[in-house]
Amino acid sequence: MSLAANTLASGANPLDQIPQLRREHGATQLIADGVPFLIRGGELENSTASSSAYLDTVWPKLAATHLNTVIAPVYWQLIEPKEGVFDFASVDHLIAGARRHHMRLVLLWFGSWKNSMSCYVPSWVKRDPQRFPRAARSDGAGMEILSAFSTDNLRADTDAFVALMKHLRAADSKQHTVLMIQVENEVGMIPEARDHSAAADAAFKAPVPAALTDYLAKHKDTLAPALKTAWRTHGFKAGADWDNTFGASPATDELFTAWTEGRFTGAVAAAGKAVYPLPMYVNAALIRPGKLPGQYPSGGPLPHLFDIWRAAAPAIDFFAPDLYFPNFVEWANKYAVAGKPFFIPETGRVNGDEMGANAFYAYAQLNAMGFSPYAPEFLAPHDAEAIGKAYDAISQLTPLILANQGTGKMIGVRAPAQFDGTADLSPQQFDFGDYVLTVHFKEPAPISIGAKGETGIPGAHGGLIIQSGPDDFWIAGTGMIVTFAVRGGAKETAGIDSIWDGRFVRGSWVPGRNLNGDDDNQGRYLRVPAGQFAIRHVRLYRYR
């Protein structure tokens, strides 16, 4: 019996406790089975889930890395090999494997776009360009990208996506293994900023749709600065063509692409949600410094295009960055808009320690619902071990993290880096009630003989701080020194009453060592060593 038949036979209410997004204390959290859920994810390499036999060899590696959620593709070309004939065996095998290993899934719809290209469309679409037209370059040459102006293209993608959502509703509406859906993958246009097919050129020369200009007028005060400037420069026009509304430039070409591809993607999402309303998002390939639209995937859900995408695709719940750049803190903050859902579906190209530090920062500072290194099944042993240690600590801390997101009692710490990887190791100060906590990424010189000390802290630097009482703190992460002071120039001095390492076991704190003497520089600071992801419980006191 199929997964769908099993669920239907159970008589379950298809929408009972469906995964959803809920705002709590100003932070949006993912709710699964009625309670907040924190995704410790990993996104499978593109081809891993295409073979059931190969996928079966991967689950133990994923479990060893302390993942609780796998982000995995669903391939249009595999589920609809013939038009209107669907085969969900690969999807069912993926769901069954996740359940067998006590994990959840976020599914990626590899439909019309995968990294801006239409490489995952079925053969019957690829081989019929008359019916399923491609976008065109400015010289007239075709591209391996379906045109967003074709109703046949939209209908084919939508029909397949709706069939997938119907299957998920039948197969998973009781157990809720599947938490969210990513609609398409890195939508955009490359190597040019927009489609130059006849249909696209006609739309570009036509008036900007009133649905867009009405939205922009309604949200004029909060528009992205570049968009607002371009529109204002041309008189906040409505009813004019794209060049006369925003100016003739690659930026306007990109606005056009964002609107047209956003409308297409939003229509696909809306049709799927009408069947089974799981949370849905779109992801973005980011911009390298100095690159113009078309030199990166033009028109994707990038920060300067959020307004266009919100107008074009209201069925999309949020936008997510594929974050591979060293300047993680900068880009993550662009997507972690206050109160909006925040999720990192792909990240990598740094070592496991750096990814672990990024995860702590995202969960604690930016209220992330989840974090997901790419291709965890192919990580080098050290990187897999480091991410496993970070996820192990985050797993222990999850109840505290979820309880404190959005409350102001928790902060994430990260040494920010520039695009070239240069890190800023300046101390960072944070106010907590009566105390000021200063996080150092360089270790102070030792004062007493025998105290541990070095000129700097090697490796990654990042973590979190949670205030659990007036004098009580949980501090976790890697590569940090924390010093304590009393706020407001008081004559009192902050002292360390105690520091304990340990673990949470089934939600209860089990203390390990009492860290004193050389381990806290005779009561001067708390240390979270580099090269590991540790949890510390510290209690302070004040004296004159």
CB-CB contact of 167 with 88 (8 Å) = yes
152 and 88 within one domain: yes
Q: Mean pLDDT, the chain, as a whole number? A: 94
For the cut 70, the answer to whether the pLDDT of residue 14 exceeds it is no
176: left (phi over 0), alpha (psi -120 to 50) or beta: left
Confidence of residue 1 (pLDDT cuts 50, 70, 90): very low
Q: Does any domain span residue 404?
A: no
* Nearest of 92, 62, 61 to residue 74 by alpha carbon: 92
Q: What is the pLDDT of residue 331?
A: 98
217 and 186 within one domain: yes
Q: Does any domain span residue 148?
A: yes
Q: What is the mean pLDDT of residues 298-306?
A: 98
Confidence of residue 446 (pLDDT cuts 50, 70, 90): low
Q: Is 225 helix (H, G, I), strand (E, B) or coil?
A: helix
Pairing outcome for strands 428-432 and 410-414: unpaired
What number of residues does the chain have? 544
Q: Look up tokens 């529109």; give the residue.
A: 231
Query: How many distinct structural domains can be found in the chain?
Result: 2
427 and 369 within one domain: no
483 forms beta bridges with 438
Q: Which residue among 338, 373, 398 closes a domain?
A: 398
Q: What angle do CA 365, 366, 372 make, to 5 degrees?
A: 110
262 and 365 within one domain: yes
323 forms beta bridges with 347
Confidence of residue 2 (pLDDT cuts 50, 70, 90): very low
Q: Does any domain span residue 408?
A: no
- Give the DSSP letter of residue 105: E
Tokens of 67: 């993942």
Q: Does any domain span residue 516?
A: yes
Confidence of residue 444 (pLDDT cuts 50, 70, 90): confident
Confidence of residue 402 (pLDDT cuts 50, 70, 90): very high
Query: Strand runs (DSSP E) across 194-299, as ranges?
Result: 280-285
Distance CA 229, CA 331 (A): 22
Q: Which residue among 356, 373, 398 closes a domain?
A: 398
Tokens of 14: 């298809």
Distance CA 469, CA 508 (A): 17
Q: Does any domain span residue 7?
A: yes
Element (H, E) at 254: helix 250-275
452 and 380 within one domain: no
Q: Which residue among 336, 369, 398 closes a domain?
A: 398
Phi, then psi, of 362 in degrees rounded to 5: -65, -45
Confidence of residue 4 (pLDDT cuts 50, 70, 90): very low
343 forms beta bridges with 370
Instruction: Please give the radius of gyration of the chain, using alpha carbons only, rounded to the nearest integer.
Output: 25
188 and 136 within one domain: yes
213 and 68 within one domain: yes
Q: What is the mean pLDDT of residues 419-438?
A: 95
For the cut 60, the answer to whether the pLDDT of residue 339 exceeds it is yes
For the cut 90, the answer to whether the pLDDT of residue 123 exceeds it is yes
Q: With b meaning 16 or more CB within 10 Å and e meaning fewer, what string describes 161-176? A: bbbbbbbbbbbbbbbb
CB-CB contact of 535 with 523 (8 Å) = no
Q: What is the mean pLDDT of residues 76-86?
A: 98
Largest Cα span, the chain:
83
Full strand arrangement of the beta sheet holding 410-414: 410-414, 462-467, 472-478, 534-543, 493-505, 508-514
The pLDDT tens digits for 213-260 are: 999 999 999 999 999 999 999 999 999 999 999 999 999 999 999 999
Write out the residue range of the structural domain in which residue 514 sits: 414-543
Confidence of residue 491 (pLDDT cuts 50, 70, 90): confident
Q: Is 28 helix (H, G, I), strand (E, B) or coil?
A: strand
Q: With b meaning 16 or more CB within 10 Å and e meaning fewer, what string describes 81-95? A: eeeeebebebbbbbb
Say which range, 111-125, 155-169, 244-258, 523-537, has the weakest mean pLDDT: 523-537
437 and 323 within one domain: no
Q: What is the pLDDT of residue 459?
A: 81
The pLDDT tens digits for 135-190 are: 999 999 999 999 999 999 999 999 999 999 999 999 999 999 999 999 999 999 99
Write down the number of H helices and E strands in the chain.
Answer: 15, 23
Taking residue 219's Cβ as centre, other Cβ atoms within 10 Å add up to 13
Q: Does any domain span residue 403?
A: no
Q: Does any domain span residue 405?
A: no
Q: What is the mean pLDDT of residues 25-36?
A: 95
Distance CA 254, CA 298 (A): 6
57 forms beta bridges with none
Taking residue 265's Cβ as centre, other Cβ atoms within 10 Å add up to 29
Q: What share of the chain is helix, strand, coil (3-state, %, to 5)?
A: 35, 30, 35
The pLDDT tens digits for 365-399 are: 999 999 999 999 999 999 999 999 999 999 999 99
For the cut 60, the answer to whether the pLDDT of residue 285 exceeds it is yes
Q: What is the pLDDT of residue 458?
A: 76
430 and 356 within one domain: no
Give 345-405 as a 3 state SS string: EEECCCCHHHHHHHHHHHHHHCCCCEEEEECHHHCCHHHHHHHHHHHHHHHHHHHHHHHHC
For the cut 60, the answer to whether the pLDDT of residue 8 exceeds it is no
- In order of 62, 322, 326, 328, 372, the CA distances from 178 in angstroms are 17, 20, 31, 28, 16
- Give the DSSP letter of residue 127: T
Distance CA 112, CA 155 (A): 11
Give 450-464 as a 3 state SS string: CCCCCCCCCCCCEEE
Confidence of residue 454 (pLDDT cuts 50, 70, 90): very low
Pairing outcome for strands 27-32 and 39-43: unpaired
Q: What is the pLDDT of residue 3?
A: 44
Taking residue 287's Cβ as centre, other Cβ atoms within 10 Å add up to 19
Distance CA 496, CA 277 (A): 50
420 and 394 within one domain: no
Q: Does any domain span residue 274?
A: yes
For the cut 60, the answer to whether the pLDDT of residue 9 exceeds it is no
24 and 118 within one domain: yes
Distance CA 435, CA 411 (A): 14
The pLDDT tens digits for 192-216 are: 999 999 999 999 999 999 999 999 9
CB-CB contact of 457 with 492 (8 Å) = no
Query: CATH number, domain at 225?
Result: 3.20.20.80
Query: CATH number, domain at 506?
Result: 2.60.220.20
Phi, then psi, of 90 in degrees rounded to 5: -65, -35
Tokens of 417: 């880096």
282 forms beta bridges with 319
Sign of the Cα torsion 256, 259, 262, 266 reads: negative
pTM of the model: 0.93
533 and 480 within one domain: yes
CB-CB contact of 526 with 496 (8 Å) = yes
Q: What is the pLDDT of residue 520?
A: 83
